[in-house]
Structure 1
Amino acid sequence: MIRCWRLDCARQTLVLGSHRDHMAEVLYWGARLPDTEDLEALFHAHALDVTGGMLDENPELSICPEATRSFPGQPGLILRALDGTPMLPKFCFLDAEEAPGQLTLRFRDLNEHLTYTAHFAIDPDTHILTARAGLAATSPVHLHWLAAPVLPAPQLSDDMHDFAGRWCGEFQMNTTPWSAGIRYRENRTGRTGHEHFPGLIVPLRGTTNTQGQCYAFHYGWSGGHRMVAEELPDGRRQVQFGHAARTQLAPDTHFETAPLYATFANHGMNGCAVAFQRHLRDRIVTWPDAKRPRPVHYNCWEAVYFDHDLPVLKDIADRAAALGAERFVLDDGWFGNRDDDTRALSDWEVDPRKYPDGLDPLIDHVHSLGLSFGIWFEPEMINPDSNIFRAHPNWALGGEDQIMGRQQMALNMALPEVRDYLFDRMAEVLGGHKIDYVKWDHNRVLPAPDAAQTLGSYALIDRLRQAFPRVEIESCASGGGRIDAGILSRTQRVWLSDSNDAIERLAIQHNAALFLPAAITGSHVGPRLCHTSGRTLDIRLRAWVAAQRHMGFEMDPRELTEDEAEVLTRVTTWWKANRDWMMAADILRLDAADSSVTAEQHRARDGGRFVAFVGKARTSDQIAPRPLRLARLDADAMYRVALINRDDAHHLSRGNPALKQGPIELSGAYLMNHGLTLPWSFPETMWVVEGTRI
């Protein structure tokens, strides 16, 4: 008997099928099929031929490939009994539940007393497919590996893109050719990690940012993941995502993957990027006040570090407010005897040496300026040199001889007493002061990966959000070390990188836009001399790079010259005037003909306006700028286009291209097929172009 099911949105169709009660497989995933498509005929059309040297039938590439079905690739499930005996289930169809846009399939192995469940849902507006798998056993078993429902990868694809990185260098795109065998990536650091963002882009041949077909995947889990992209000997390809293997340490009767988010697009990699941006912003993130404009952010870390002095902080707040800041965040150093990063983590009590009258004098001053107030915590960490460690050394995760990270250890978040202690201390600070923002940091990897640690952290955040629903939370982990849909279902902002170097930020933000919307992506104007790169950059570049995302400042405003303060105030004023539409805009990565240029276009949801940011990191190979093609405009419409920072043109830009003289009117067809002709510029500069549909 053949059973088939389908899920659709306006963009794509997913078809699954099962024969002889076997585990279901994906028969089709791609561009939308007609409603009249005969799914049983599609099932038969999907079948491969066989030839010499093969089995007499091709084993299914199912949503959970089974070793017992002669599958030649990586299985979707590996487990063993309590005595260590490997378990090799053979699942058979149990039942299916269908609802609009949703499908749940269940399969059972009677011999091993196991039930496998796969749930699929497709969002008609964001075009994101969500897939999740679960396993139930009648008695405890040890789980080594459980993949989220396995999806096929296209065979008309030459390469795949995944993401590596490091501290101050997140979202570095890797391009790997498809070949027989597996591309295997596993993050075992215990957090999402700078090193292995849980995402994969699979473009078809000829696809660019703006054109062609593309598939994309993201695994929404904060505790480390495993990815397998495999090409089988017969040519078929599979993509598996799940928790990092062997991180669910205790035997149990129930296991569940995190959601796997996936999408197909006909509009290049931007089609997938926009789907993820919208889904994260509109479906995953829950806002304390969705109508509140995103406030201009000021963080004092790179101004004072651990040297907290109330008059200095008040002065800095005055200056930040004058520049346009609307939120002031007090970073590390306000608690315990925290004078450097070697002590006092977990002693979450206000330092009476620095704040003899508590935090209220600073908070009241900040509020008097019209700014809201935020504060830094690193709840999951502990210094051995702390009062709490001396009282509860058993609360630390891992062995006594473990390698330290910033002289700190992780707290064991699986322990209820640890979570209770942290909740009580944090609730006392948040409940006793007018604080509406928490920067939540996580500055070291775990001594060993353990999924229970992530679940414990989730539980603490969930409890705090329930108690303080108006408090917004930023996920920071030495910058971008914990960015994923799992943490973003509990937070409202990510600190993309500890690097405030605007040149490095151009690349980091550009690649992160394949998944992250502007509204949740913090980007700050750093100091003139960047403390992580040693590079000195002009305030114009620093300000415009920050204005591409949720804008903020993170420098000592006392260092600003009169000119720098004027530039920063002007750019901040522009950002405030445009944030309402920009924070809901789609970020489109542009295909720049000049390899020295990193360009993106923020397009309003209704298509009526856009702004293009054209950053130049180095000297071009040719003399004059190459035209820059825009994307997703109305070809028949006319647009008024203006270079809003044309006054920044250097005197060596000696010609008179039209954009230097003032606004011009051009068709969408021209802008997409020929592109903008911009003035000449030095490296480490940016042009900003506004467009409005007439």
Structure 2
Amino acid sequence: MIQEWRLDDGQQTLVLAARRGRLPECVYWGAALPAREDLGTLLAAHGIDVTGGMLDENPDLSLCPEAVRSFPGQPGLILRDTDSTPLLPKFCFAEAREEDHALYLTYRDDDARLGLTFGFVADPETHVITCDTTLTADRPVHLHWLAAPVLPAPQLSDEMIDVSGRWCGEFQLARTPWSAGMRYRENRTGRTGHEHFPGLIIPTRGTTNCSGEAYAFHYGWSGGHRMLAEELPDGRRQVQFGHAARMETAPGTEFRTAPLYITYSNAGLNGCAVAFQRHTRDRIVQMPRPDRPRPVHYNCWEAVYFDHKLPVLQDIATRAAALGAERFVLDDGWFGTRDDDTRSLSDWTVDPRKYPDGLTPLIDHVHSLGMSFGLWFEPEMINPDSDIHRAHPDWALGSEDQTLGRQQKALNMALPEVRDFLYDRMSAILSAHAIDYIKWDHNRVLPMPDAAQTRGSYALIDRLRADFPLVEIESCASGGGRIDLGILRRTHRVWLSDSNDALERLRIQHDAALFLPASVTGSHVGPRHCHTSGRVIDISMRAWVAAQRHMGFEMDPRELTDHEAAVLTEVTGWWKANRGWMMRADILRLDSADPAVIAEQQLARDGSRFVTFAGKAATSAQIAPRPLRLTGLDPAATYRVDLINRATAPNLSRGKPALKQGPLVLSGAYLMGHGVTLPWHFPETMWVLEGTRL
């Protein structure tokens, strides 16, 4: 018996096939196939030869490779029975259910009394396929490892790209050559983590940002996860994603992976990036007020830290509003006796020493300036020096003598009483004040990974969202420590990094754009003297880097000179005038001929306009700028291009390149085939180029 199924979304085709009722394998994933393609022939053509030193039949690289069928690599399921006896199930076909752009396949092992279901949903607009795996049992079993549907990696690929990072240095792309064996990364910190964002891109040979084929994966889960990319002895390659091993600490009768989001591109890495950006923005994030423009954001953290004084905050709010801010966020330090980061986490009541009349006077002042008001919380954490820890030490997750992080422990979010307490405290604040934004922080890793912790956090957010549907939530975890589509299904913005250093941000934003759209990516103009890097950067660079994403300020506006205030006001005004289309634009990473230049092009969905940001992160090896090729344009169309910040050209730019003199009219073919020639500029500066299709 041969069975085959296919999923199409107009850009990619996924073909699954199986013999003799076994688990299916992916026999094709790539560019869209003709409707008439014979899938049975594909299954036959997919098979590899057998020679000396091999088994008489090649074990299937199925959607869940089975150890019991002599699979030589990592299995997709590791399981023990109620009495801890290892189980080696052998699944057979039970049911197939096909819906519009969706497929669900169920298999059973009657002897082991287990069921396994694979789900696939294709999106013809975003070109992302969402898939997951569900395991069922008729009695409690112990799960060690369950992979989301296992997919093959391309053979014509020399490397894989996954994502490393650290605090203030998130989204560092790690390129690893394929070789016999396994690239194995497991995040056991209990949150998504700076250290390994749950994503993987596999480019084929010669792929760049703008051309070639690539396959991309993202695991939408906010707890610890495991990724492995393995090359088998016979040359086949598999990719597995799932929760970190042994995250399910209790036996159960049903286990389900998080969604695995996959996409194929024949337009370089940018094709994968656009698919993930659109899917995140249009399918995952549910904005409370989708028709409201993204407001210019002001956060007071790097202005005052814990030193809250009402007159100072009112003055800062007034200055921020004059610069163009539309939302004011009061950060850490407003509650309990919170004078530093060693105390009061979980004591979510307003500090009467700092706010004798409560938060209302500050909120009223902010509203009088035309700004909305936001508030910082770190609900999942607790300081030992807090009233709640003294009353309920048993609410803390982990042992009493655990290593602290930032003088805090994590609350056990699996406990209903903990979630109820947090809901009561937070809802009391939200009910008593006109608050439309929460900055939700998570500043330490967990003492151990536990899937119940993540599910408990999800449940609390879901409950608050249900009762306060107009409150927008930002996910922050020491910056970019909890960014994934699991948390973004419940939140509306991410704080990409605690670094407000524009030079660091330029690179972080560039690489994060492989997965994240501008509309959810917060980027702030930091202080003149950066608090995390010590670097001093000109206001123009700081402002334009923030204008690449959801723009905001996070510095003390009292430090600004008249010149700095004028530049910031001008760039903010430009961002406001363009945010309507930019927040829905596709971010395309450009292949810069000069390694010192980090450049991107934000292209409107209808292709009618674009803006190019060319940031110079270092000193160029050559003396004159190399042309910068654009992408995604209509070769036959004509575009008017204009260097909008030409007035910032330094005195050492002595020549007369055409763009320095005024706008040009050029074909899409020229802009993509030759590129734009920009004036000379210093390192740590940015050129901004606007384009309009005529």
- Pairwise TM-score range, normalised by the shorter structure: over 0.9
Partner of 1:182: 182
For 1:41 and 1:17, the matched residues in 2 are separated by 10
Q: Could you tell me whether the CA contact under 8 Å between 2:82 and 2:139 is conserved in 1?
A: no
Kindly indicate whether residue 2 of structure 2 is the aligned counterpart of residue 2 of structure 1: yes
Partner of 1:530: 530
RMSD: 0.4
Unaligned runs of 5+ in 2: none
For 1:248 and 1:644, the matched residues in 2 are separated by 54
Partner of 2:462: 462
Kindly indicate whether residue 437 of structure 2 is the aligned counterpart of residue 437 of structure 1: yes
Partner of 2:229: 229
For 1:588 and 1:355, the matched residues in 2 are separated by 46
Partner of 2:145: 145
Partner of 1:51: 51
Q: Which amino acid aligns with 2:628?
A: L
For 2:533 and 2:474, the matched residues in 1 are separated by 24
For 2:22 and 2:638, the matched residues in 1 are separated by 56
Unaligned runs of 5+ in 1: none
Partner of 1:32: 32
Which runs of structure 2 are paired with 1:129-208 in the superposition (5 Å)?
129-208=129-208
Q: Secondary structure at the match of 2:43?
A: helix
Partner of 1:656: 656
For 2:366 and 2:289, the matched residues in 1 are separated by 21
Partner of 2:88: 88
Partner of 1:597: 597
Partner of 2:41: 41
For 2:90 and 2:112, the matched residues in 1 are separated by 9
Which runs of structure 2 are paired with 1:128-527 in the superposition (5 Å)?
128-527=128-527
Kindly indicate whether residue 110 of structure 2 is the aligned counterpart of residue 110 of structure 1: yes
Shift of 1:84: 1.6
Q: Which amino acid aligns with 2:455?
A: L
Show structure 1 runs of 4+ deviating over 4 A. none
> Deviation digits for residues 446-501 of structure 1, max 9, x if unmatched?
00110100000000000000000000000000000000000000000000000000
Q: Secondary structure at the match of 2:456?
A: helix
For 1:649 and 1:32, the matched residues in 2 are separated by 47
For 1:102 and 1:671, the matched residues in 2 are separated by 40
Shift of 1:9: 1.1
For 1:10 and 1:83, the matched residues in 2 are separated by 48
For 1:232 and 1:281, the matched residues in 2 are separated by 37
For 1:244 and 1:62, the matched residues in 2 are separated by 21
Shift of 1:41: 1.1
For 1:624 and 1:262, the matched residues in 2 are separated by 41
Partner of 1:551: 551
Shift of 1:578: 0.1
Q: Secondary structure at the match of 2:567?
A: helix
Identity %: 75
For 1:11 and 1:214, the matched residues in 2 are separated by 13
Q: Which amino acid aligns with 1:70?
A: S
> Deviation digits for residues 346-398 of structure 1, max 9, x if unmatched?
00000000000000000000000000000000000000000000000000000
Kindly indicate whether residue 615 of structure 2 is the aligned counterpart of residue 615 of structure 1: yes
Q: Secondary structure at the match of 2:249?
A: coil
Shift of 1:429: 0.3
Count of residues in correspondence between the two structures: 694
For 2:235 and 2:195, the matched residues in 1 are separated by 29
Q: Which amino acid aligns with 1:509?
A: Q
Q: Which amino acid aligns with 1:367?
A: H
For 1:244 and 1:38, the matched residues in 2 are separated by 38
Partner of 2:579: 579
For 1:409 and 1:342, the matched residues in 2 are separated by 11
Q: Which amino acid aligns with 2:115?
A: T
For 1:437 and 1:246, the matched residues in 2 are separated by 35
For 2:311 and 2:478, the matched residues in 1 are separated by 28
Shift of 1:82: 2.1
Q: Could you tell me whether the CA contact under 8 Å between 2:242 and 2:258 is conserved in 1?
A: yes
Q: What's the TM-score once normalised by structure 1's chain length?
A: 1.00
Q: Secondary structure at the match of 1:542?
A: helix
> Deviation digits for residues 404-455 of structure 1, max 9, x if unmatched?
0000000000000000000000000001000000000000000011010000
Q: Secondary structure at the match of 2:469?
A: coil
Q: Secondary structure at the match of 2:308?
A: coil
For 2:668 and 2:335, the matched residues in 1 are separated by 56
For 1:149 and 1:113, the matched residues in 2 are separated by 21
Q: Could you tell me whether the CA contact under 8 Å between 2:158 and 2:178 is conserved in 1?
A: yes
Q: Secondary structure at the match of 2:319?
A: helix
Q: Could you tell me whether the CA contact under 8 Å between 2:17 and 2:26 is conserved in 1?
A: yes
Partner of 1:625: 625
Q: Which amino acid aligns with 2:529?
A: L
For 1:382 and 1:294, the matched residues in 2 are separated by 32
Q: Secondary structure at the match of 2:145?
A: strand
For 2:267 and 2:46, the matched residues in 1 are separated by 26
Q: What's the TM-score once normalised by structure 2's chain length?
A: 1.00
